[in-house]
Amino acid sequence: METHDAGRPDSIARRLERAIQKGQFAPGSRLPSERDLAQRWQASRSIVREGISMLVAKGLLSRRHGSGTYVNAPSDHFGAEVWADMSRRYPDLPADFFEFRHMLECRAAELAAERHDAGDRKRLQAAQAAVDAAFRGGDRELQMRTDIAFHHAIAEATHNPVFAYLMISLHKLLHDHMQLTLAGTTPRSEVFRHVVAQHRRLLDSILARDAVEAGRAAAAHIDFVRVRMNHLPPRRPMTAAPSGTRG
Amino acid sequence: METHDAGRPDSIARRLERAIQKGQFAPGSRLPSERDLAQRWQASRSIVREGISMLVAKGLLSRRHGSGTYVNAPSDHFGAEVWADMSRRYPDLPADFFEFRHMLECRAAELAAERHDAGDRKRLQAAQAAVDAAFRGGDRELQMRTDIAFHHAIAEATHNPVFAYLMISLHKLLHDHMQLTLAGTTPRSEVFRHVVAQHRRLLDSILARDAVEAGRAAAAHIDFVRVRMNHLPPRRPMTAAPSGTRG
DNA sequence: ATCGTAGAGTGGTTGGACCACCTTGGGAGT
DNA sequence: ACTCCCAAGGTGGTCCAACCACTCTACGAT
């Protein structure tokens, strides 16, 4: 009796996924053709095809008609589709997203301050340096990419996959959104200087393991980004006094 | 020229989804057979099948071999699969989930305290009454269902779909997990009394619009649940002083 | 050296057949 | 009249072989 069964789509999908995770198929590379995989694994092309479809739906693979099936980079299948159907359901809720992001980034900053290790320190500093360099230059796309990478580094320094997953997927969503909103604006260098300064403050407090200050710095940063980039008013009616580190 | 194109799987998926959202196929009901839909829409069965597969992947539909394809209730496709692949990637991370949940429930309680309206008040009180009744009885399943419904009511009182979405999907995941961990335990009535008391405190502070107290009550509740139900130590190393309302 | 294009390879689609499974209803046995 | 069983029909699941639509590339004409 075979352990694999090899004939069911989900079995194919699992096998493929394992092969990808084991590095057998590198990110960005092309998979063998459907016909090839079918013959190799003694399954019909239909089954292989459906198995691949599952991984496409999960964002692990991409198909290109006439060209082939390609392995996505990990950051690609890291969740953007989580929010996709939600934002389809609720046409525009950027304010709600920012509210959520506010909470997420604050807490992540606190956790990163408490838990980061030597490797995290190095990655955080490198990411910060990259942001600095990008903002000295004029490449808008690069600025956003490095900015997101910086926040990714924080996310990973939390050592909590749930936070990392949500932050990264959220940034991907917001990245697309930002590209649209920033498309026609002029590069306001003083805004960018503010962003860099806020990153500095955030990074310093994390590295100093000052969780409270890190949370405040993250809050300030997100508030600034929301107001300057998207011209959105804060959602909270602010009935009570600002609570704890999130003021 | 046709607006629909009708021949591509994603077109079929969209059409089907729209039909479901318009109530043409009620939740729980059975879809027409693949062969039927194919003939009706002038598409090959394979295409219809692949379109259905997409909606199955999104959790909108379920297939039952030999029986039919069924429309899932909205709460079913409300996100559980978001976490599914993550928990597959990281075998057991209940502590991480609880950490996230801690943050989420605290903030949701705060927002609910600030934003709830008359309708929310009624729903919250009804949900609380249902929990009370369930915990006086002995039905474990009912207790969990009403408990989750109570937290849903809070989630909806935030008036932020992002919070609602994540809380509901997270509860679904934890519900499955709880069923496993609670399966063999004896019903400890004093534990249940604590839970009811904590709900009471949480509800009262929300209805009093005391965001800070609501956040604290939620924190206490989640901590209690984590310790008593799952015997998990808190994840945070607690290097710094407990920060703000989350202590 | 450059450009165009034919051909090969890839994913996408088709139709039909068959398999595995579930549901149902009517007939056999009580 | 009631119960039980199972055969038939319907459903999703799989397979195959061919063809379509698209992309890439290497070869040949210019």
Question: 3-state DSSP call for residue B43?
Answer: coil
Residue of B nearest to A10 (CA): B57
Please say whether the beta carbons of A36 and A74 come within 8 A. no
Each residue's pLDDT tens digit, A189-203 = 677 778 888 999 999
Nucleotide nearest to B65 (CA to C1'): D12
> Of how many residues is chain A composed?
247
Q: Would you tell me which residues 199-238 of chain B have a C-beta closer than 8 angstroms to some C-beta of chain A?
A: 209-212, 215, 235-237
Please say whether the beta carbons of B208 and B215 come within 8 A. no
**Looking at residues A1-11, what average pLDDT do you find?**
64
Q: Which residues on neighbouring strands pair with residue A69, listed in sequence order? A: A63
Q: Measure in Å the smallest separation between the Cα of A93 and chain B Cα atoms.
A: 8
Residue of B nearest to A208 (CA): B240
Q: Which residues fall within 8 angstroms of residue A133, CB to CB, at 6 or more apart? A: A146
A32 CA – C8 C1', rounded, Å: 16
User: What is the distance between the alpha carbons of residues B41 and B69, in angstroms, rounded to a whole number?
Assistant: 17
SS3 annotation, chain A: CCCCCCCCHHHHHHHHHHHHHCCCCCCCCECCCHHHHHHHCCCCHHHHHHHHHHHHHCCCEEEECCCEEEECCCCCCCCHHHHHHHHHHCCCCHHHHHHHHHHHHHHHHHHHHHHCCHHHHHHHHHHHHHHHHHHHCCCHHHHHHHHHHHHHHHHHHCCCHHHHHHHHHHHHHHHHHHHHHHCCCCCCHHHHHHHHHHHHHHHHHHHCCCHHHHHHHHHHHHHHHHHHHHCCCCCCCCCCCCCHHHC
Q: Would you tell me which residues 1-60 of chain A have a C-beta closer than 8 angstroms to some C-beta of chain B?
A: 50, 53-54, 57-58
User: What is the distance between the alpha carbons of residues B206 and A113, in angstroms, rounded to a whole number?
Assistant: 31
Q: Is the pLDDT reported for residue A150 higher than 90?
A: yes
- Interface A-B, measured as beta-carbon pairs within 8 A, has a size of 112
Q: pLDDT digit of tens for each residue in chain B (247 aa)?
A: 334 555 589 999 999 999 998 889 999 999 999 999 999 999 999 999 999 999 998 888 999 999 999 999 876 555 555 666 666 666 566 788 889 999 999 999 999 999 999 999 999 999 999 988 887 777 777 888 888 899 999 999 999 988 988 888 888 777 766 665 555 455 556 777 788 889 999 999 999 999 999 999 999 998 888 777 655 555 544 333 333 333 2
User: What is the distance between the alpha carbons of residues A140 and A179, in angstroms, rounded to a whole number?
Assistant: 9
Question: 3-state DSSP call for residue B68?
Answer: strand
* B115 in contact with A, Cβ within 8 Å: yes
Q: Which residues fall within 8 angstroms of residue A59, CB to CB, at 6 or more apart? A: A72, A76, A77, A78, A79, A80, A81
Each residue's pLDDT tens digit, B32-49 = 999 999 999 999 999 999
Q: Measure in Å the smallest separation between the Cα of B162 and chain A Cα atoms.
A: 7
B158-175 burial code (b ≥16 CB/10 A, e <16): bbbbbbbbbbbbbbbbbe
Please say whether the beta carbons of A45 and A39 come within 8 A. no
Q: Is the pLDDT reported for residue A56 higher than 80?
A: yes
The residue among A103, A167, A222, A232 with the most chain B CBs within 10 A of its CB, best to mutate, is A103
Q: Measure in Å the smallest separation between the Cα of B208 and chain A Cα atoms.
A: 12
| Pairing of β A61-64 and β B68-71 | unpaired
* B111 in contact with A, Cβ within 8 Å: yes
* B73 in contact with A, Cβ within 8 Å: no
B84 CA – D28 C1', rounded, Å: 55
- For residue A225, the model assigns a pLDDT of 80
Which regions of chain B does DSSP assign to beta strands (E)? 61-64, 68-71
pLDDT: is A176 or A25 the higher one? Answer: A25
Q: Is the pLDDT reported for residue A159 higher than 70?
A: yes
Question: Which amino acid, residue A12?
Answer: I
- For residue B147, the model assigns a pLDDT of 87
Question: Among candidates B62, B76, B106, B53, which has minimal Cα distance to B244?
Answer: B106
- For residue A53, the model assigns a pLDDT of 96
Stretch among A12-16, A101-105, B86-90 having the lowest mean pLDDT: B86-90
Percent of chain A predicted with pLDDT > 70: 74
pTM for the predicted model, two decimal places: 0.69
Structure tokens given for A179: 């590209």
* B243 in contact with A, Cβ within 8 Å: yes
- For residue B110, the model assigns a pLDDT of 96
A49 CA – D16 C1', rounded, Å: 14
- For residue B50, the model assigns a pLDDT of 97
Each residue's pLDDT tens digit, A19-44 = 998 889 999 999 999 999 999 999 99
- For residue A169, the model assigns a pLDDT of 80
A112-142 burial code (b ≥16 CB/10 A, e <16): bbbbbeeebeebbeebbebbeebbeeeeeee
- For residue B37, the model assigns a pLDDT of 96
Looking at residue B41, what DSSP letter applies? Answer: T
Each residue's pLDDT tens digit, A58-90 = 888 999 999 999 999 876 555 556 666 666 666
Question: Among candidates A218, A231, A232, which has minimal Cα distance to A101?
Answer: A218
B9-36 burial code (b ≥16 CB/10 A, e <16): bebbbebbbeebeeeebeeeeebeebee
- For residue A73, the model assigns a pLDDT of 83
Bases of chain D within 7 A of a CB of the protein: 10-17, 21-24
Helix axes A140-157, A118-136, angle to 10 degrees: 170
- For residue B7, the model assigns a pLDDT of 57
- For residue A181, the model assigns a pLDDT of 54
- For residue B227, the model assigns a pLDDT of 77
Q: Measure in Å the smallest separation between the Cα of B106 and chain A Cα atoms.
A: 10
